[in-house]
Structure 1
Amino acid sequence: MKVVLFADIHANLTAFEAVLADINTCYQPDAMISLGDLIDYGMRSNEIIERIQEVQIPIVANLKGNHEKALVDSDLSHFSSERGRVMSTYTRNHLNQASQNYIKNVMQEPKQTLEIDGNKVLLLHGSIEDPYWGKLTPSKVDDEKYKDYDYVISGHIHQSYKIDVFFKAETPLMRNQKRTTFINPGSVGQPRNHNPYAQYVYMDFQTGEIHFNAVPYDVDAEQVLFPKEIDKFYSERLKFGI
């Protein structure tokens, strides 16, 4: 199966449209996997939810992220800054009923397991301990909680990576090692790896081929949408990928 992996669109419709155009030009995927945080931080949460429902490529997993979780629970306590709480409140006040219904009734809890081409795949937004808010950074991928999976795919940190970890195992044929591949596709709408381009991954689970993609888009078109009551940090960071 050939799959597109993406995460953290964060209401950035221009970036998502650029990604969809790039997929259409470069690849012919069988399916898509969305790892959460369609909404918030950007100004077009309703439009993103409407657009993702129009995409013709089947979505085989559609996870909630921590921003959807905060909205459903009406809980702002996990945000580390006042500007984040203000932003989440703004998003909640502007979400229409159709968007709220989609989040509550269509999007899935993170920590989903799929079987793809004989591979056991764990899908998270965050980490195995905290599927919403946990941060599965490269320094944490050697945790043996992940060893039973062939692939662990997560989002949330807005930084892309692929790391193979070889856990000890009773497998003489494989030199007593068990490989688990960790993948984070980065962020479509708010990258934080100092690359402002919209980022996603294309993967062939049968061959193991993985392409990391970074697509330019019209950042200005998104920045002009931010109102004065939203901290300018959220619009300015789009220019720098921070």
Structure 2
Amino acid sequence: MTTTRVGLLSDIHGNAVALNAVFDDMGPVDALVCAGDVVGYGPSPEPCLAAVRDRAIPTVAGNHDRAVVDGMTWEPGDEYARRVLSTADIEWLGDLPRKLRRFDGRLKAVHDHPDERDRYTDPADFAPTLLGDEDVLVLGHTHVQHAERFDEGLVVNPGSVGQPRDGDPDAAYAVLDLSDLSVDLRRVPYDVDRVRRRIAETTIPDRNGARLAPD
């Protein structure tokens, strides 16, 4: 079967409520790709990781994924994930690649910047020079949803499933059509208060819930 429609995810950040809302909203796709940071910040690293593993979603390593593996945690949500995840879960995170190629090399995914780990690639930085021989470059890390089409191909950040930072609190994702290199940037509301209540039941500070939908 030829892969045409690809669901793009990134920066799930332990937010299972948002992730389930995305899956419910997405509709049929031929494949999924995740641009990293399955864990961190949020209260549900185990079900988020299980959802990605159970669907065998090709995933690259994000900085929070690496932090949980290495124990050099960025913030309390990382520490919580490291404490509650199983050894097998942490090993799975540790096996995630920095970059991946899919669909006969037409799509490349990296969490941050194709040439520099942990570098933010903001929308203003989208340029054809980011592209190699792939048709589509998928990025995450900034939590800002954006896509730009160039003669050389498409650069897309599907936005953050679990913690958007572009002024819209709704969960973000995208659906790519490889047949014409078009991309549909989508948002879906979810129960933010439910996630905040779950955070309150953990050792994660309330500020991680407050940032999900700033006043």
Letter in 2 for 1:230: I
Within 5 Å, which residues of 2 pair with 1:11-30? 11-23=14-26, 27-30=27-30
**Aligned to 2:198, what secondary structure does the other structure show?**
coil
Structural mapping, 1:76-115, within 5 Å: 76=73, 79=74, 84=75, 86-105=76-95, 108-115=96-103
Distance 1:147 1:10 in 2: 28
Aligned residues: 211
Offset of residue 145 of structure 1: 5.0
- Say which of 7, 11, 15 aligns to 2:10: 7
Is 1:71 aligned with 2:68?
A: yes
Distance across 2 between alignment mates of 1:150 and 1:161: 16
Cα displacement string for residues 46-79 of structure 1 (whole angstroms, at most 9, x for unaligned residues): 1111223334xx63x2111111111222224xx4
Alignment partners' CA distance in 2, 1:3 and 1:148: 19
Larger Rg: 1
Runs of 5+ consecutive residues of structure 2 not aligned to the other structure: none
Instruction: Give the conservation status (yes or no) of the 8 Å contact 1:147–1:180.
Output: no
Structure 1 residue 121 corresponds to structure 2 residue 107: yes
Relative to structure 1, the CA distance from residue 229 to residue 100 in structure 2 (aligned partners, 3 Å threshold; closer, same or farther) is: closer
TM-score normalised by the chain length of structure 2: 0.88
RMSD after superposition: 2.1
TM-score where L is the length of structure 1: 0.79
5 Å matches for 1:127-166?
A: 127-131=113-117, 133-142=118-127, 144-165=129-150
2-structure distance, mates of 1:90, 1:221: 18
Matched, 1:53 2:50: no
Distance 1:147 1:47, change over 3 A: closer
Query: Amino acid of the residue matched to residue 164 of structure 1?
Result: R
Letter in 1 for 2:69: V
2: distance between equivalents of 1:222 and 1:69?
Answer: 23
Contact 1:114 1:122 in 2 (8 A): yes
Distance 1:180 1:208 in 2: 8
Shift of 1:141: 2.4
Residue 131 of structure 2 contacts residue 152 of structure 2 at CA under 8 Å; is this kept in 1? Answer: no
Q: In the alignment, does 2:11 pair up with 1:38?
A: no
Q: Alpha-carbon deviation of 1:36? A: 0.7
- SS state of the match for residue 163, structure 2? coil
Identity percentage of aligned residues:
27
Summarize deviations over 1:192-220 as a string: whole Å, max 9, x none: 11111111101110122321111111111
Q: 1:195 touches 1:240 (CA, 8 Å); kept in 2?
A: no
